Amino acid sequence: MTTLNDRLKQGKKARKNCSRNSQASMGKMDRDPLPLIKASSEGRIRSLVELRYGRMLVSPFTFYRGNALLQAHDLAGTPNMGLVSTICGDCHLMNFGGFATPERNLLFSVNDFDEAHPGPWEWDLKRLVASFLIAARDQRHGDSVEETVCRQVVAAYQQTMLECAEQSALETWYESIRYDDLRQQASKANLEHVERAIEKAEQRTHAQLLPKISERDAKGRLIIRDDLPEIFHRHKNTTLLGADDDWLRLSDWRPLYDALMRDYPDTLQADRRELLSRFHVHDMAFKVVGVGSVGTRCLVALMTDDQEYPLFLQFKEARRSVLAGYVKTRSRARHNGQRVVDGQRLMQSASDLFLGWTTGPNGRHFYVRQLRDMKVSAELETFDADAFAAYGRICGRALARAHAKSSGHCAQISGYIGKSDALADALFKYAQRYRKQNERDFERFQQACRKGRLRARSEADFAADHLP
């Protein structure tokens, strides 16, 4: 059996084939971003692709968030130490946040796994560090803050990975970042942000959501309220689905719901399956989410128990991971919904009570979870320099814990990183270079939209189309 010291040395030895300085490399960048952007839109709902592009046009930061495929392509040409395990695949700073465990504890971790797939751990860390630099530029924090936050992300990852290396397998598996702990550790200046997040999470329950997105129809039935372009029903005149969409051939929402529910309960634990059986469905509507996910199929089912207490389930389309075409290792899961769920369960210390997967009409893959239940994300516009750096540190910690849990190779990763600033130096250089590349790509994207090669529309455009 190898000792901790042996495993640390194995990681250090990997520097011979992939020096830490080489992690600053951008790889081969002689590519046109537009074909990759178009490729990432294939198979999506056509009208909503225009909304996706509209959201990506807001800033270089939203552009970066909106197209993980582009950086996956670029990362494939960069060096890595040779360890492959399940990674997030779309690890930017807005894909972290708070969520409730089944025991109603509020945790902080990676919270988006649509692109989860085997890959090099460096890819997640590079995408995260670059996202902080791009976001810092977007929020106009200045050069010194950009460098500070990037280095602190890497330092937090480095320190936490070493801590994990020194823990037992069970300690690493069970360890979590709790908001109660963040509250105790926060400085006076940052305590307000933590308290606000906790307060917001406590208000984001199904009961609080019910009056915000639902109403009674003329017959007194409970239904989801249309709110274009965010929420719409498929068979009403407010639908954003194309006239030739195969889902419109279904008589109403119930055949779709029945198809989605056919396999889903069997992916849950027996006790959770029993709990699900105590809810009755009232309505189902289409929900547009995020930036990168816009145009994929996402549905929300409104359910209640016998006392009319609500449960909102989200059925989110799971497509092929953006990493799949750029790594040799395949996902063990043949079903993309299962791939997402397996990734989430592997990288988080606790996951959604109703997390599962299913197959919809015409073979599309979906994963299932609760909608918005105590989920909170960073409000970057409220962060000063200190809060932004503190958020960088917590994201670095969370990513290291997720990688330690999913890979089982935290000692090797820690040995490779070492105790110096060598990796931080390299990744800051990488982030600087990729920020400039992202701005060039964004400019080409803007030009393509202006010249009509790509069509972008805003939320206001969609809403205006359906004014009474």
Residue 360 has pLDDT above 90, yes or no: yes
Residue 22 has pLDDT above 60, yes or no: yes
Residue 201 has pLDDT above 80, yes or no: yes
How high is the pLDDT of residue 173? 94
Kindly state the tokens that stand for 105: 């504890």
In this prediction, residue 419 has a pLDDT band, given cuts at 50, 70 and 90, of very high
**C-alpha 19: how far from its chain's center?**
29
Residue 241 has pLDDT above 60, yes or no: yes
In this prediction, residue 467 has a pLDDT band, given cuts at 50, 70 and 90, of low
How high is the pLDDT of residue 190? 87
- C-alpha 464/C-alpha 345 separation (Å) is 41
Residue 282 has pLDDT above 60, yes or no: yes
How high is the pLDDT of residue 466? 60
For the entire predicted model, the pTM comes to: 0.96
How high is the pLDDT of residue 246? 79
Instruction: Return mean pLDDT, the chain.
Output: 93
Residue 463 has pLDDT above 80, yes or no: no
